[in-house]
């Protein structure tokens, strides 16, 4: 692999060409002027090879996943992407073609999401690759989403489908070989290339009382939202949106359902809104061409309850699910 | 080691208690209001265990080095520290006492430098620890330092002493055992606990034409400054400031001199100023109680020249130094 300075000049500096604040990556820091309106939202997520992605995942997709898990955090705040700093810690023997493909993935997502490189660092390790990205977004503070605003009586919504990230990882590990290749590919893609719900978040501004992105799993993240807001959340299990592929798999093995709710890596937007905003939420879903499903509601109390078709509580743990 | 959520709540959230923008580390991103004056300066540096610090370095010092190498970048821009995001990627087996001590080191430096935790991530690895810190500073854009502003005729200054970081690492690797223990400890401390020159940088505002921090080594960083400014830099070798410990070592082994200039890890401020600002620079040094030495000047051309007492060029490479 080429040296740090050559790597920065050859592969990384071109990614900063749309952000004059990056000073060509030639200075000790980037200079970020205050946005003309609003505040900055900043987040930093790290991915480790073999933990958050697989060593043989295509480098373009690794880069785009790193970008997108951070953009998903910005979406969960209702902020618009602006810039990012990048820490690349790669095995010494990693060749330049991997890095070139990785940077190509970053460039594709920069164009899609309107974001540019501001700075960062490039170092070597004897261990697995460790990739960190610090994303900076912009939003008007009073309109940014928080986890803490859910009110008793609010409705609970989720974008897209749940569990595909978990199943996509299983597919990449050679499970579900009986599944049609088209569905296998769709699931693997969901694991490798999450879809940050930025357009939906932008359309939802003013309607949402609390939001979080589903990275730890639907139930865990609903739990974070309930705890931070000081409320209880009830989720109607039959309403949880599933992809066709997930439904095919559950038809074969219904015991997998709790894993879909606990597996994480969905990067869907989970949010609450007053009942009076239901039409506005559906309009935002349509305007952003993003599927949104009403899956439950906010109640007094604490914790997350999963309810069956009859409204009875279901207890879920890693080994399965039973009626309470 | 405890799980991610417990780690964040127990060790990291208390570090965010002086920064309401961190939202208690309970949200998907921190919300950073525009500064009342000026712009943000952002930088991100990564340290790998066994590369940038030694596995048996005390965790408090590892934390403070991680903080300080980033603060040194802010000093090189003339920005004041404000907040930071942190990525902790630790071996699974690393126990909580290491993390507790690491966070204690962060807290000490937070108090010294007036900075607070804004957000970040905590993950596990099978490899060596990888620690990233994204520091955010504040400064008025027109008064921030750049690498690109050095002018022909400017004087070249450096803070502190050069080569102690390199020698400190050697001491930590059990070299120079003949040196007095007081000097050994002083050198080891310079390697483990660099001194970001923030007070000097603040006092220098308005006097400096270009600045960089010495992280790659005096000659390499002078080279970055020369290249970015499009000038040549001449350094008078006998003027380069050395610590007593470094002088003791050079008296035994003069061949080590080039290593001191190329070893890096000094985190001193290297900067240029017009000859008319010499008094202002010396006054800033005194006001900030920071040693500053005039070591050379900016000339037309390119590259870095090292000159001997008679003004003749010395060629330096890793094996030694000879007259050209």
Do A184 and A316 lie in one domain? The reply is: yes
Rg (CA), chain A: 20
Asked if residue B273 belongs to a domain, the reply is: yes
Distance CA A31, CA A75 (A): 24
Q: Are B42 and A32 in contact (CB < 8 Å)?
A: yes
Q: What is the pLDDT of residue B6?
A: 85
Sheet (strand B80-91) strand order:
A30-32, B39-48, B130-139, B80-91, B116-125
Query: Which residues form the domain of A215?
Result: 155-323
Q: Which of B12, B23, B44, B66 is the mutation pick for testing A, counting most A CBs within 10 A?
A: B44
Q: How many Å lie between the alpha carbon of A182 and the closest alpha carbon of chain B?
A: 33
Among residues A157, A169, A156, A178, which one has the least CA distance to residue A260?
A: A169
Do A98 and A179 lie in one domain? The reply is: no
Pairing of strands B130-139, B80-91: antiparallel
Asked if residue B220 belongs to a domain, the reply is: yes
Percent of chain B with pLDDT over 70: 97
HEC string of B78-95?
CCEEEEEEEEEEEECCCC
Rg (CA), chain B: 20
Averaged pLDDT, groups of 10, chain A, 324 residues long: 80 91 89 87 96 95 98 97 96 94 97 95 96 96 92 98 97 95 96 97 96 96 96 97 96 94 94 98 98 98 95 72 53
Q: Tell me the torsion sign for CA atoms A8, A11, A15, A19.
A: positive
pLDDT digit string, tens, across residues B208-229: 999 999 999 999 999 999 999 9
The listed range with the strongest mean pLDDT (A6-10, B29-33, B163-167) is B163-167
DSSP state of B29: S
Do A31 and A63 lie in one domain? The reply is: yes
Do A161 and A138 lie in one domain? The reply is: no
| Chain B neighbors of A42, CB-CB under 8 A | 29-30, 32, 85, 118-119, 134, 136
Q: Are B132 and A121 in contact (CB < 8 Å)?
A: yes
Is residue A245 within 8 Å of A289, Cβ to Cβ? Answer: no
Q: How many Å lie between the alpha carbon of A146 and the closest alpha carbon of chain B?
A: 6
Interface of B with A in 25-54 (CB under 8 A): 26-35, 39-48, 50-52
DSSP state of A42: E
**With the CA atoms of B110, B114, B117 and B118 taken in that order, what torsion angle do they form, in degrees rounded to the nearest 10?**
-170
pLDDT digit string, tens, across residues B218-277: 999 999 999 999 999 999 999 999 999 999 999 999 999 999 999 889 999 999 999 999
Distance CA B148, CA B230 (A): 8
Residues 6+ apart with CB under 8 A from B68: B109, B193, B194, B195, B196, B267
Total domain count, chain B:
2
Asked if residue A301 belongs to a domain, the reply is: yes
Of the residues B114, B143, B172, which one is the last residue of a structural domain?
B143
B143 CB within 8 Å of a chain A CB: no
pLDDT(B322) > 60: no
Q: Are A123 and B30 in contact (CB < 8 Å)?
A: no
Q: What is the pLDDT of residue B33?
A: 85
Of the residues A101, A123, A143, which one is the last residue of a structural domain?
A143
pLDDT(B316) > 80: no
Among residues A304, A161, A303, which one has the least CA distance to residue A239?
A: A161
Do A222 and A261 lie in one domain? The reply is: yes
Asked if residue B149 belongs to a domain, the reply is: no
Is residue B132 within 8 Å of B234, Cβ to Cβ? Answer: no
Asked if residue A186 belongs to a domain, the reply is: yes
Task: Note the pTM of the prediction, 2 decimals.
Answer: 0.94
Phi, psi torsion values for B19, nearest 5 degrees = -130, 90
Interface of B with A in 54-83 (CB under 8 A): 73-74, 76-77, 79
Lowest mean per-residue pLDDT among B113-117, B137-141, B312-316: B312-316
Q: Give the CA diameter of chain A.
A: 63
Do B166 and B89 lie in one domain? The reply is: no
> How many CB pairs lie under 8 A apart between chains A and B?
189
Please tell me whether residue A138 adopts helix, strand or coil conformation: strand
Asked if residue A149 belongs to a domain, the reply is: no
Interface of A with B in 223-242 (CB under 8 A): 224, 228
Supply the angle between the helices B96-113 and B59-77 in degrees, to the nearest 10: 30
| Chain A neighbors of B74, CB-CB under 8 A | 28-29
Do A119 and A237 lie in one domain? The reply is: no
Of B33, B77, B125, the CB nearest to A29: B77
Q: Which of A19, A39, A44 is the mutation pick for testing B, counting most B CBs within 10 A?
A: A44
Distance CA B321, CA A312 (A): 82
Q: What is the pLDDT of residue A147?
A: 94
Quote the distance between the C-alpha of residue B185 and its chain's center.
19
Do B169 and B123 lie in one domain? The reply is: no
Q: How many C-beta atoms surround the C-beta of residue B289 within 10 A?
A: 9
pLDDT(B194) > 80: yes
Between the CA of residue A106 and those of A85, B51, B92, B94, B148, what are the distances in Å? 12, 27, 29, 32, 28
Asked if residue B148 belongs to a domain, the reply is: no
The CATH number covering residue A264 comes to: 3.90.650.10
Do B83 and B198 lie in one domain? The reply is: no
Do A31 and A135 lie in one domain? The reply is: yes
Q: Which of A24, A66, A78, A132 is the mutation pick for testing B, counting most B CBs within 10 A?
A: A132
| Chain A neighbors of B139, CB-CB under 8 A | 31
Q: Are A127 and B132 in contact (CB < 8 Å)?
A: no
Of the residues B143, B172, B200, which one is the last residue of a structural domain?
B143
Q: Are A30 and B43 in contact (CB < 8 Å)?
A: yes
B32-35: Cβ within 8 A, 24+ apart = B32/A39, B32/A40, B32/A41, B32/A42, B32/B83, B32/B118, B32/B136, B33/A39, B33/A141, B34/A34, B34/A35, B34/A39, B34/A40, B35/A34, B35/B82, B35/B138
Is residue B157 within 8 Å of B295, Cβ to Cβ? Answer: yes
Q: What is the pLDDT of residue B317?
A: 62
Asked if residue B150 belongs to a domain, the reply is: no
Element (DSSP H or E) covering residue A250: helix A244-252
B86 CB within 8 Å of a chain A CB: yes
Interface of B with A in 241-280 (CB under 8 A): none
Do B277 and B166 lie in one domain? The reply is: yes
The CATH number covering residue B99 comes to: 3.30.1330.10
Pairing of strands B303-307, B269-273: unpaired
Do B176 and B318 lie in one domain? The reply is: yes
Q: Are A32 and B26 in contact (CB < 8 Å)?
A: no
| Chain B neighbors of A33, CB-CB under 8 A | 39, 141
């Amino acid at each position: 692999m080429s040296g740090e300075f050559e790597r920065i000049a050859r592969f990384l500096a071109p990614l900063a060409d749309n952000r004059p604040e990056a000073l060509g990556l030639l200075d000790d820091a980037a200079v970020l002027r205050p946005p003309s309106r609003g505040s900055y939202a900043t987040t930093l997520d790290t991915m480790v090879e073999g933990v958050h992605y697989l060593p043989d995942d295509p480098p373009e997709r690794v880069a785009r996943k790193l970008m997108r898990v951070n953009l998903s955090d910005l979406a969960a705040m209702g902020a618009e992407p602006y810039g990012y700093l990048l820490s690349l810690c790669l095995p010494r023997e990693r060749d330049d073609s991997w890095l070139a493909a990785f940077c190509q993935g970053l460039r594709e997502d920069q164009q899609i999401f309107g974001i540019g490189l501001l700075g960062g660092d490039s170092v070597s390790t004897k261990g697995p690759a460790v990739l960190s990205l610090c994303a900076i977004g912009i939003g008007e503070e009073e309109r940014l989403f928080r986890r803490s605003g859910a009110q008793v009586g609010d409705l609970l919504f989720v974008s897209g489908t749940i569990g595909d990230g978990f199943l996509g990882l299983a597919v990449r590990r050679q499970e579900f070989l009986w599944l049609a290749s088209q569905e296998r590919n769709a699931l693997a893609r969901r694991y490798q290339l999450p879809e940050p719900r930025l357009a939906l978040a932008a359309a939802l501004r003013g309607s949402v009382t609390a939001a979080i992105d589903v990275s730890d799993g639907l139930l865990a993240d609903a739990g974070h939202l309930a705890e931070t807001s000081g409320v209880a959340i009830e989720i109607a299990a039959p309403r949880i949106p599933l992809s066709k592929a997930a439904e095919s798999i559950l038809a074969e093995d219904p015991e997998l359902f709790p894993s879909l709710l606990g597996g994480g890596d969905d990067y869907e937007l989970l949010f609450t809104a007053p009942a009076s905003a239901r039409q506005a939420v559906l309009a935002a879903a349509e305007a952003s061409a993003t599927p949104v499903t009403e899956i439950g509601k906010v109640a007094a109390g604490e914790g997350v309850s999963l309810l069956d078709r009859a409204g009875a509580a279901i207890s879920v743990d890693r080994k399965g699910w039973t009626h309470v």
